[in-house]
Amino acid sequence: MDILRLQNVFKDYILKGETIQVLQGIDLTIQSGEFVALMGPSGSGKTTLLHIMGGVDEPTKGKVFLGDQELSGLSAGRLAQVRLHRLGFVFQAYNLLPALTVFDNCAYPLILQGRPGKERRERVEKMLARVGLSHRLKHHPEDLSGGEQQRVAVARALITRPLLVLADEPTAHLDAETGREIIDLLHRLNEEEGTTFLFATHDPALLQKTTRILRLRGGCLFED
Ligand SMILES: Nc1ncnc2c1ncn2[C@@H]1O[C@H](COP(=O)(O)OP(=O)(O)OP(=O)(O)O)[C@@H](O)[C@H]1O
Ligand SMILES: [Mg+2]
């Protein structure tokens, strides 16, 4: 089953009157169950592409389908629903909510989904244990290291058991050991629950388990 499909996607940014052509005709299909790495030098457009895939940003031209749902026609409310129920997103800059504790940041998508308190508590405690943060539940993001915040962001993306997870350099701020543990977690979810992963990375350790490696260069995608 196609879980994500991009058709002739372009993205330009206009900055101080100058047009920057970041994506120049991306065609891509990701099937359910894939474990895909997206590589490319800094500034090549990995974050831009992930944002467009996840409905965080809109393409200048072209179409994005999540399953059979085309994103561009959706109202903001409907798009938020699609993202909430189908997608997990790990932002490069984490995007944790500073006013909420670690526990509540992770529970937030489940609150939006209307899950009961007992189920939320069990799932959040289990997921935060899996990323090694059981002892930090009541702390706020500002009290955590970059790597710890990154692990909260991963836990929050996985908490709804989404079909597709888009992750922007999810191990960039982790030491080798912790990075490997996070990769193992993602890979286990991929194998056991069939969760589809697409992650931007520069980390060779992440590549060992991938089913596909995509490379972004000059606004175009190439495949190994
Ligand atoms: N909101 C924006 N407005 C203008 N230009 C932008 C914007 N976002 C990104 N860009 C430009 O688009 C290009 C691609 O940026 P992007 O963040 O997607 O790259 P990246 O591959 O994720 O880089 P990195 O590996 O450093 O995270 C860069 O030249 C950047 O300056
Ligand atoms: Mg980036």
Query: How many CB atoms are closer than 10 A to CB 24?
Result: 16
Asked if the structure places residue 33 within a domain, the reply is: yes
> Which H/E stretch holds residue 188?
helix 176-193
Helix (H) or strand (E) holding 36: strand 35-39
**At 213, which helix (H) or strand (E)?**
strand 212-217
From the CB of 201, is ligand 1 less than 6 Å away?
A: no
- What is the rounded distance in angstroms from the CA atom of residue 160 to the CA atom of residue 16? 40
Start-end of H helices in 43-161: 46-53, 76-86, 102-112, 117-130, 146-158
Position 208 confidence tier, pLDDT thresholds 50, 70, 90: confident
Q: Does residue 148 fall inside a structural domain?
A: no
What is the predicted pLDDT for the residue at 205?
80
Mutation pick for ligand 1 pocket among 9, 10, 42, 47 (CB with most ligand atoms within 8 Å): 47
pLDDT for residue 178: 87
Residue 128 lies in a domain: no
Cβ(47) – ligand 1 distance below 6 Å? yes
- Are 168 and 202 in contact by the 8 Å Cβ rule? The answer is no
Ligand with smallest separation from the Cα of 16: 1
Residue 160, pLDDT score: 96
Residue pLDDT, tens place only, 64-94: 999 999 998 899 999 999 999 999 999 999 9
What is the predicted pLDDT for the residue at 126? 97
pLDDT confidence of 209, banded at 50, 70, 90?
Answer: confident
Average pLDDT on 157-180 reads 93
* The pLDDT value given to residue 6: 98
Determine how many CB atoms are found less than 10 A away from the CB of residue 15: 8
User: Does residue 125 belong to any structural domain of this protein?
Assistant: no
Q: Quick one: average pLDDT of 178-196?
A: 90
pLDDT number for residue 1 = 85
In a domain, 185, yes or no: yes
Answer yes or no: is 155 within a domain.
no
Residue with tokens 């047009």: 19
Which domain, by its residues, includes 6?
Answer: 2-95+162-223
- Name the closest-CA residue to atom 4, ligand 1: 13
Residue 7's pLDDT is what?
A: 97
At 181, the pLDDT band (50, 70, 90 cuts) reads confident
Q: How far is the CA of 114 from the centre of ligand 2 (A)?
A: 32
Which amino acid is present at 151? R
Given a cut of 90, whether residue 125 has pLDDT beyond it is: yes
pLDDT at 3 over 90: yes
pLDDT in tens, 11-64: 999 999 999 999 999 999 999 999 999 999 999 999 999 999 999 999 999 999
Tell me: pLDDT of 204 over 90: no
In a domain, 190, yes or no: yes
Question: Looking at the domain assignment, is residue 29 inside a domain?
Answer: yes
Instruction: Assign 179 to helix, strand or coil.
Output: helix
Q: Is the pLDDT of residue 162 over 90?
A: yes
**Could you give the CA distance from residue 127 to residue 134 in angstroms, rounded to a whole number?**
9
Cα 24 to Cα 74: distance, rounded to the nearest angstrom:
23
Q: Which residues does residue 166 pair with via DSSP β-bridges, in sequence order? A: 89, 198
The pLDDT tens digits for 26-38 are 999 999 999 999 9
Q: What is the CATH number of the domain that holds 214?
A: 3.40.50.300
How many domains does the chain fold into? 1
Rounded Cα–Cα distance for residues 57 and 59 (Å): 7
